[in-house]
Amino acid sequence: MNILVCVKQVPDTTSIKIDPIKHTLIRTGVPSIVNPYDGYALEMAARIKDKTGGKITVLSMGPEMAKDTLRECLGVGADEAYLISDRVFGGSDTLATSCIISTAIKLLEEKNGSPFDLIFCGKQAIDGDTGQVGPEISEHLDRALITYAYESQVEGDTIKVRRESDEGYDIVAAKFPAVVTVEKTPYEPRYPSIKSKLAARKATIPTLTSAEVIVDENRRGLKGSPTKVKSTYTAEVQKNGQTISGVEGSAAGAQLVGLLFDAGILK
Amino acid sequence: MILDEETLELRDMVREFVNNEIIPNAPKYEKKNEFAAPILDIAIDEMGLGCLCQPEEFGGAGLSNVAFLTLSEEIARGDLGIATTLFGNCLATYPVLIAGTDEQKKLWFDTLTEKKYAAFCLTEPNAGSDAGGVQTTAVPDGDDYIINGTKCFISNGGIAGIYTVLAVTDPKKGVLGLSAFIVERDREGVSIGKEEDKMGMRLSNTTEVIFDHVRVPKDHLLGKLNRGFKIIMETLDHSRAGVGAFGVGIAQRALEEATKYAKQRVQFGQPVANFQAVQHILADMAIEIECARQAYLHAGELIDAGAPYKMESAIAKTKGSDTAMKCAIDGLQVLGGYGYMKEYPLEKLVRDAKILQIYEGTNQIQRGVIAGCLLKKY
Amino acid sequence: MQTKSLWVYIETEEGNAKSVGYELLTPGKALANKLGGSLVAVILGENVEKVAKNAIAYGADAAILVEGEEYRNYNSDASSYAVNELIKKYQPEIVLIGATKNGRDLGPRVACKLSTGLTADCTGLDIDSETGNLLSTRPAFGGNLMATIICPDNRPQMSTVRPGTFKKGTFDEGRTGEIIKENIHIDPEKIRVSLLERVKEVTEQINLEEAEIIVSGGRGMKKPENFGMLRELADALGGSVAASRAAVDAGWLPSAYQVGQTGKTVAPKLYIACGISGALQHIVGMSGSDTIVAINTDPNAPIFKIADYRIVGDVMEVVPAMIKAVKEKKN
């Protein structure tokens, strides 16, 4: 069993604050974390590996600092890690990113001599929230795609998945090789062990640059990105609402209901 | 001392576990009076915190004593019962590390890995501070020893799969007639007596362990015959630093809880943390804690360096446990009436802290050890 | 189809359209008018001619219909193949897809096949009057930032749009429009994912996006049992219960009830936020509500900024009083 998990280092968006004057994101001091959905993806992969044996490779793209994230992954189930990092890859949108990552995957597969049986990605990254890179990887590599998986089971060369749907869930199956994007699982990712943590500290994580991951310059970086950010702004609104005050909670509740009926909002 | 990056990383990893799993969940088990098995399962099975002194060649992480003590503080910050359960494994393991053969170590760690818990059986109803008062006997019989006796106040007594036991092998020779043995739980004649209902440290399993004509092969004798007392004393010298680290963990928790509370609690129109009277309590706690922390780290450093550590270890234990007691009480005071209520963690810290001044050699015994070292030295 | 066309993909499941498809015809119409183009509904499914007719009634100028067994339920391989074939043939200017689970599976695959840009999970759409480019606005960084994305050089311009962001237009049965039937079938061997079972957990959560009244609870509800009173209030008002991420993360309600950036976007007539502080990621999912009521003990809670009615007080006292008052009024 040969599994690849794609991971992204993201700022912890729950601790991002907005500069009240400049209306920009304050990113300094915001800790970098493993994208939580990628963590679930890795745990799903690790649980498969616990049963079937095999190897888990983690792959990320980003600055050198992203190796911290990969090292964390090595502590919780991953066996080896690679970082795609090159300035020419900077500014890539989802299409360019997926193209670069897919090229790197092919490179690793060539080295392994066989395709990864399964490629896992988080359903989306919590900074960009696009959820597009996983499906686009499946398209670049021309592989089966299952999105929004939160439980999975491997039988022989088939993965059976419980996939979240808008109305409930679907049970779907695909033969290897397949790409699976992962939702929040019903279980939490494992804690690292002291031994795996120590081993991860010592592991070497190769960097793959544009010299190895060869992508046409029209398909990478800003130039290779069809989408552009035109503008950004912080969403701040302030309504002139009506405050019900000076009365007990129960009186306020009754008063509110009265106001809502008077305004015709409740009938 | 300055901790190295590796130790800091391990500490942060354990801290995350403590903050996410132990602090929010331990009180539920304490309330239900239930062993916190699910938390310990994560600690032992996932994280490998089951026996932090396990050497690398026997499948352990081979941590330095400094790292070991740092992690011990962290776990005790979460819950002393859980820390004592995990640490109980190490305490039971030290005699094997000190005196065991490779075969014995293999037997020990294989069993410990399988059964998760081990226990150190020293104390008896008539042998507390006076370890020489042990009445449990081990009598040779062919290729075996037959062990008879009752041990009490044994941490992990009811859950351990394997024990280290101190027994009399020559009743005429006092402490020079004591020997240490490895005894597996599933040997015929090993049974668990009453489980203690303790003031604090409620998540630790404390029981009597009864040996009734328990037959163990002679290769279960640790070290030389009649040299058990020395092994046990060395074990306690070593483990004392850990109790110091536990004390710092409890004191640190008390400081954190009291400081957070003081910043929130409004009296006289402002947070009580604004008042100097409260600030000084918190500052005094921090002073004590930092000194106690340096004391156990120094002992750990000496052990790692292979230098003598008997006195420093006893100092670390005494300072750490007294600091725990003082900070728990003072932290409770900062919370006022709420500190006295079970809804807040301070009353539990007070109950937990007390045992640290008692177990693994009372603080009076520690002072005796320290004085003994001084008298030899000057 | 000579003029520039704007497509709205209308997802169907077992013959029925998902509401978001019809919703998207509303902004679709406005954008097509700005472009001076036509609005075309694209429908894949089995026995879905009525969906095409409905789409026209909701404002589409024309509909393209692809029918087949393989489209009865969403299949990533079959649907992305068909949509790609259609786009190659008709060359639309813009393609809008509802950001349902399946829509967000389909969109990137098609965009990748076409090597074009896709903007995910938009909450705002416009046309740049100078360039004619589609302006897609979406939240990022957990809702802390709104970004407007363009795709200036590649066509079509594609966006997935959050369900619940727009409201369906008026249904005019008298409207007419061409229904073009296309016969597209993927080689069955190329269908790599098989659907073994579909389980519908039919509860009120399905209707969250369509609910007119939502009573939502957050961390301030303190424990799961307290959601009982929210349910009671929702029942009295004929509405649904929802939750903030904090409440879902605490395990008090399943994630299907979650409103916000990583949950659902809702725009009911009345949204009652109980014990919700109003983190941006939550506000992103409900700020389109017509009327917002906020009840919170913290007078500085950000939720109050966007509330039309504010009560600084304890939910445990306010909500039971509301239930009583509503019941009295309704009798």
Delineate the domains of chain C, giving CATH numbers in brackets: 5-190 (3.40.50.620), 204-330 (3.40.50.1220)
Nearest by CB: A191 against B6, B42, B61: B42
| Distance from C-alpha of A265 to C-alpha of A158, rounded to nearest angstrom | 53
Query: Can you tell me which residue has the tokens 């500069």?
Result: A19
For the cut 50, the answer to whether the pLDDT of residue B185 exceeds it is yes
User: Given an 8 Å threshold on Cβ–Cβ distance, is C77 in contact with A230?
Assistant: no
- Give me the architecture of the A2-219 domain, per CATH: 3-Layer(aba) Sandwich (3.40)
User: Nearest-CA neighbor of C101 among A140, A142, A169, A173?
Assistant: A169
Nearest by CB: B17 against A75, A191, A201: A191
For residue C309, the chain A residue with the least C-alpha distance is A242
Instruction: Assess whether chains C and B touch, using the rule of 3 or more C-beta pairs within 8 angstroms.
Output: no
| Distance from C-alpha of C316 to C-alpha of C11, rounded to nearest angstrom | 42
User: Nearest-CA neighbor of B191 among B217, B166, B154?
Assistant: B154
- Please tell me the distance in Å from C229's CA to the nearest CA on chain A: 13
- Please tell me the distance in Å from A255's CA to the nearest CA on chain C: 8
**What percent of chain B stands above pLDDT 90?**
94
DSSP output for B350-370: HHHHHHHTTSSS-HHHHHHHH
| Distance from C-alpha of A152 to C-alpha of A5, rounded to nearest angstrom | 15
Hey, what domains does chain B have and what are their CATH numbers?
5-115 (1.10.540.10), 118-225 (2.40.110.10), 230-377 (1.20.140.10)
User: Which amino acid makes up residue A232?
Assistant: T
pLDDT digits (tens, 9 = 90+) for B311-327: 999 999 999 999 999 99
User: Given an 8 Å threshold on Cβ–Cβ distance, is C308 in contact with A139?
Assistant: no
For the cut 90, the answer to whether the pLDDT of residue A14 exceeds it is no
Nearest by CB: C119 against A25, A170, A227: A227
Q: Which among A94, A98, A117, A166 is the top mutation candidate for probing chain C, defined by the most C β-carbons within 10 Å of its own β-carbon?
A: A166
DSSP output for B96-153: HHHH--HHHHHHHHHHHHHH--EEEE--BTTBSS-GGG---EEEEETTEEEEEEEEEE
Band of pLDDT at residue C249, cut at 50, 70 and 90:
confident
Handedness of CA B238, B244, B245, B247 (dihedral sign): positive
pLDDT of residue A95: 97
Average pLDDT score over residue span C254-266: 85
Q: Residue C215 in contact with residue C274, Cβ under 8 Å?
A: yes
pLDDT digits (tens, 9 = 90+) for B259-283: 999 998 989 988 999 999 999 999 9
For the cut 70, the answer to whether the pLDDT of residue C205 exceeds it is no
Chain A residues whose CB is inside 8 A of the C262 CB are 126, 129
Which of C42-46, C139-143, C162-166, C267-271 has maximum average pLDDT? C42-46
- 3-state class of C263 per DSSP? coil
For residue C284, the chain A residue with the least C-alpha distance is A235
| Distance from C-alpha of C181 to C-alpha of C46, rounded to nearest angstrom | 12
Average pLDDT, rounded, for chain B: 96
Chain A residues whose CB is inside 8 A of the C152 CB are 228
Q: Which among A132, A133, A146, A187 is the top mutation candidate for probing chain C, defined by the most C β-carbons within 10 Å of its own β-carbon?
A: A132
Average pLDDT, rounded, for chain C: 92
Q: Residue B113 in contact with residue B59, Cβ under 8 Å?
A: yes
Tell whether C197 is within 8 A of chain A (Cβ): yes
Band of pLDDT at residue B131, cut at 50, 70 and 90:
confident
- Under 8 Å CB-to-CB from B159, ≥6 apart: which residues? B35, B85, B116, B117, B119, B205
Tokens representing B365?
A: 């015994």
Q: State the CB neighbour count (10 A cutoff) for residue B269.
A: 6
| Distance from C-alpha of B100 to C-alpha of C215, rounded to nearest angstrom | 66
For the cut 90, the answer to whether the pLDDT of residue A17 exceeds it is no
User: Given an 8 Å threshold on Cβ–Cβ distance, is A165 in contact with C150?
Assistant: no
Tell whether B17 is within 8 A of chain A (Cβ): yes
User: Nearest-CA neighbor of A239 among B145, C202, C308?
Assistant: C308
For the cut 60, the answer to whether the pLDDT of residue A19 exceeds it is yes
Chain B residues whose CB is inside 8 A of the A201 CB are 6, 9
Q: Which among C133, C193, C314 is the top mutation candidate for probing chain A, defined by the most A β-carbons within 10 Å of its own β-carbon?
A: C193
Respond yes or no: is residue B360 known to be catalytic.
Answer: yes
Length of chain C measured in residues: 331
Band of pLDDT at residue C1, cut at 50, 70 and 90:
very low
Chain B residues whose CB is inside 8 A of the A195 CB are 48, 60-61
Chain A residues whose CB is inside 8 A of the C306 CB are 237-239, 241
pLDDT of residue B262: 95
Q: Residue B344 in contact with residue B338, Cβ under 8 Å?
A: yes
Average pLDDT score over residue span B291-296: 98
Chain A residues whose CB is inside 8 A of the B57 CB are none
For the cut 70, the answer to whether the pLDDT of residue C203 exceeds it is no
| Distance from C-alpha of B361 to C-alpha of C171, rounded to nearest angstrom | 84
For residue A164, the chain C residue with the least C-alpha distance is C101
- Please tell me the distance in Å from C263's CA to the nearest CA on chain A: 11
pLDDT of residue A167: 82
Q: Where are the domains of chain A?
A: 2-219, 237-267
Higher pLDDT, B5 or A17: B5
For the cut 60, the answer to whether the pLDDT of residue B56 exceeds it is yes
Q: Residue A119 in contact with residue A153, Cβ under 8 Å?
A: no
User: Which amino acid makes up residue B278?
Assistant: V
Mark which residues 205-244 of A lie under 8 Å from B by CB.
Answer: none
Using CB atoms within 10 Å of the CB of residue B199, give its burial: 0 to 12 exposed, 13 to 18 middle, 19+ buried: exposed
Tell whether A198 is within 8 A of chain B (Cβ): yes
User: Nearest-CA neighbor of A200 among A192, A208, A188?
Assistant: A192
Mark which residues 200-259 of C lie under 8 Å from A by CB.
Answer: 200-202, 206, 237, 255
User: Given an 8 Å threshold on Cβ–Cβ distance, is C200 in contact with A167?
Assistant: yes
Cα–Cα–Cα angle for A34, A35, A39, rounded to 5 degrees: 75
pLDDT digits (tens, 9 = 90+) for A201-226: 999 999 999 999 999 999 999 999 99
Tokens representing C55?
A: 């789409």
Q: Which among C144, C201, C274 is the top mutation candidate for probing chain A, defined by the most A β-carbons within 10 Å of its own β-carbon?
A: C144
- In this structure, the strands spanning B178-184 and B162-168 are antiparallel
pLDDT of residue A232: 85
pLDDT of residue B39: 97
- Please tell me the distance in Å from A58's CA to the nearest CA on chain C: 22
- In this structure, the strands spanning A158-164 and A144-155 are antiparallel
Average pLDDT score over residue span A43-58: 97
Q: Residue B240 in contact with residue B288, Cβ under 8 Å?
A: no
Q: What is the DSSP letter of C176?
A: -
pLDDT of residue C202: 57
pLDDT digits (tens, 9 = 90+) for B91-111: 999 999 999 999 999 999 999
Q: Residue B278 in contact with residue B262, Cβ under 8 Å?
A: yes
Q: What is the DSSP letter of C100?
A: S
Q: Residue C293 in contact with residue C313, Cβ under 8 Å?
A: no
pLDDT of residue A20: 66
pLDDT digits (tens, 9 = 90+) for A90-149: 999 999 999 999 999 999 999 999 999 999 999 999 888 899 999 999 999 999 999 999
pLDDT of residue B290: 98
For the cut 80, the answer to whether the pLDDT of residue B168 exceeds it is yes
pLDDT of residue C256: 82
For the cut 80, the answer to whether the pLDDT of residue A246 exceeds it is no
User: Nearest-CA neighbor of A146 among A183, A115, A111, A113?
Assistant: A183
User: Nearest-CA neighbor of A128 among A6, A39, A218, A9?
Assistant: A9
Instruction: Assess whether chains A and B touch, using the rule of 3 or more C-beta pairs within 8 angstroms.
Output: yes
pTM attached to this predicted model: 0.86
